[in-house]
Structures are given as structure tokens and as C-alpha cells.
Structure 1
Amino acid sequence: MPPSPSDSSLEAAGTQSASDIGQDARPVFPPMVYVPCAPLEVDAEQFSVDLRQTRDGRIALLVYSALDRLIACCGEQQAWAVLATAELDQLQQRTDFQLVLLDVEIPDEFRRKQEVA
């Protein structure tokens, strides 16, 4: 579920348009992705992914091709999980996100901050 070329609200870094790589081609996603999620509680067996609303109202799942990109784009306080790209279909069925965006930078004001105890 890569982002459509017409999505101007959030753009995936490093994607190519269909005209650049052929009419039927899609951006290539890595076999494993890093997914921002809510902070985990101790001994938690499941995680809750962070979903973001785009400017046009769609629900997006942001994924990152490498851990250093997730940290650079989301901040050091961002909890994360690593998933096989093949598992994104199952995740979509559970969470109903409408598009996947790769390596998108989150503005500083929307990043997770360290919680004060």
C-alpha cells in the first residue's frame, strides 16, 4: 500500500513516480520496516502503532526503512517495533489505515517527548 503520487499532504522520501520507473511499477519497500508505536509497558506482549492523519483526512501508517531514519525523522523518544513488510496487510486489517508512507519526517512539535515522572 504505497502512497499514491497524488498525496500532497505527506510525501514519502525516496519514492519514484510511475513515470520515472514504468506505468505498473510501485515504490520498492524494504523487506523489514521500523514502525513508530506507543511506548510499551513493562512485560507488554503487544504494541500499538502510531497512526497519523494526513491533511486530507486519510489515516496513514508511517514506516521507516532503517532505525537511524526513524530516529532522525521521529526523534529519540519514539518507541518502535520492527515488522516484516509482508505483515503490513495483517496490520492494516486490524487498524484500518488507508496508506503507508515511507521515511517521512515528523515535525518537531508532533514528536513524542520524554514523559516527566
Structure 2
Amino acid sequence: MADRAEHRRRIPAVAVLWFALAAAGLIGTMWFNVAFVLESGGADYFGAWFANAATASASTDLLVVAVAAAIFMVVEGTRLGWAKRAWVLVALSAVTAIAFTFPLFLGLRAVALANRDAEPRA
């Protein structure tokens, strides 16, 4: 029993990587969002996403990946037994950034899978 409890306290190295990426995603996106609001007063935020061909390409790329990530988070979250948490992260993506919530989800998933693998089999 002590071995199991000890293993549960460890966070897999890959989870640490995912959590670091989540922090970078949150800090990086919020930095530029705040800068945009300070520079423009927040005027036409979504219009700026498609201001020219380069931003339209990056925005389309981001939107497609965001939808794919949201679907993955809901499907995989349901498979892991925490669909409600997955939906919270999808909703949080809309007010923070998918660059934050998707790696956060992957980190939480890595921890959940490591804990599941550490449980003794009956």
C-alpha cells in the first residue's frame, strides 16, 4: 500500500512538460492580448485575426487545431471518466487560450494515466 501511495505522489516527466507548455501558452497569449487591448482599446479583436493573409492563415490554423483539441478533450475526458472537467477546459479555452488549456488537459491526462497504471490489478 505504501508503494502505491508513493507512486501516486510522483508526476510523470511528460506531465511536467505539458504543464510547462500550458504555463507558456497562458503567459504568452495573455501578454499579447493585454498588449493588443492597451494599444487599440480592444477594438475589433476578432477582425484583427483576419487583417491580412498571414494572420488569416495563422488564425485558420489555430481555429482548426482548437476544434480538434476540443473534440479530443471531450472524447478522451469521457473515456477517462471526467467529462465534466473536460468541458470546463473547453469553455476555459474561449476565455484564456487553447495554447493553455490543451497542454493542461494533456498534463492532467498523463497524471491520470500514470495513477491508473500504478493501481494494483485485481
- TM-score in terms of structure 2 length: 0.26
Higher relative contact order (CA 8 A, sep 6+): 2
Higher normalized strand content (fraction of residues): 1
- TM-score in terms of structure 1 length: 0.27
Higher normalized helix content (fraction of residues): 2
